[in-house]
Each structure stands twice: as C-alpha cells, then as structure tokens.
Structure 1
Amino acid sequence: MISLDLIREHCRADPEDVSEGLLTSYRDAAVRLFERRTGRVLVVDVSSGASANALKVEGDVLVALLMLIDHWVSHKGVATDVQLMEVPMGAKQVMDLYRSFFE
C-alpha cells in the first residue's frame, strides 16, 4: 500500500536504526487506525468492484498515514518527558474529513 522506501524517506529512518518489520508494523497500524476512525476502507485502486466507502491512498490521505508512521518512529511511547503528544493534529484533521457516517 505504501512502500517502505517512501516511509523511510519521509521519516528519514536509516535501515540500521529502524527495521523493515517495525516500519511494516507501523504502516499496518496507521492504516487500521485510519480505517477504524473514519469507517472507510483504504485501497490502492478504486475500481468498479470496490466497496462504496473505499478511499484511495493518495494525496492528503497518504500524507496523514505518513505523519502517523513518522510520529510512531520518532516517539516510541505514548508520551515523552519533553512533549506530551498523541496523534499528530494534521493526521487527525484529515481523518475527520473522510469520516463516513453511513454504511
């Protein structure tokens, strides 16, 4: 869905610092969070067989996912001593834009 190369570039994460397995876990978690928070299904291609609430991973949706992944790469816990943060505001705002209230 989102290549690990793009994630590494966005996060500026060197392979010796962050493994492919960890980046894959963060990517999958970001997709699940976006889908559950919005009630939408993220897809690579919106085709005629896609569900009515399918949303293509591009543009601001892609950026929101990358922001979530970068946040988790940079902050391994829920909060730090320096900064108390949860989901980056920009990512939450994008998710709110695409929230579906209908099935």
Structure 2
Amino acid sequence: MIDGPVFPDALGGYRDRNNVGADFRDVRKGTGFEWVTPHTFRKTVATLLDECAASARMIADQLGHSRVSMTQDVNLGRRAVHSAVAEALSTFDPDQPLPPDQAGGGGQP
C-alpha cells in the first residue's frame, strides 16, 4: 500500500494541481491522446463501477460526490439500449398507427 503521494513534489509532498495539469498536457501533446484528461479517468472509473452493478450511491462515494445526481449527470456513461426495448421498438409498424389511448400525448393531436 502506498503511504503518501504517488508522484511527489521535490520535497516529497503533494504537487500543485496546476503544475500537474500543465505536465499532463505536455505529456499528451502530439500523442493522439490530447482528449484524455483527469476527468476521463474519473468517468471511466464511474462507468466501470456502474457496469459492475455498483449503486449510484457507492459510485458517488468513491468519487467524493455528496450528491448522487452529480455522479449520474456528469460521470456515468450512457448505457447501451436494453435488448427488450430494442425488440419492442422493432415490432412497431408505422403503417399501423397506435390507438389514441396508447399513442401518448393524452389523445391530443
């Protein structure tokens, strides 16, 4: 187990986040990975935990969010369409309109 910073400053302490950001940008420059940011890693962790069926509360706790909605809105990737939903939509026939009580919109034109 690591006890202290993984990449310490010259005195062994924590590095200033602005310096880390600048160094990270320099390292990515010209690599084709300019799109990778620290947020990319956070989102990846959140999405992996989501795919492993961790609850939104557990994921929020891991990321340090007090509001689950923040985690869901900002860090969780969109899920693939559920196969049952895709199957239901594939049976829709545009030549056979739905009855007004099933069409949505409260029967309004």
Report the TM-score range of the alignment, normalised by the length of the smaller protein: under 0.3
Larger Rg: 2
TM-score scaled by length of structure 1: 0.24
Which has a greater percent of strand?
1
The higher relative CO (CA closer than 8 Å, separation ≥ 6) is in 1
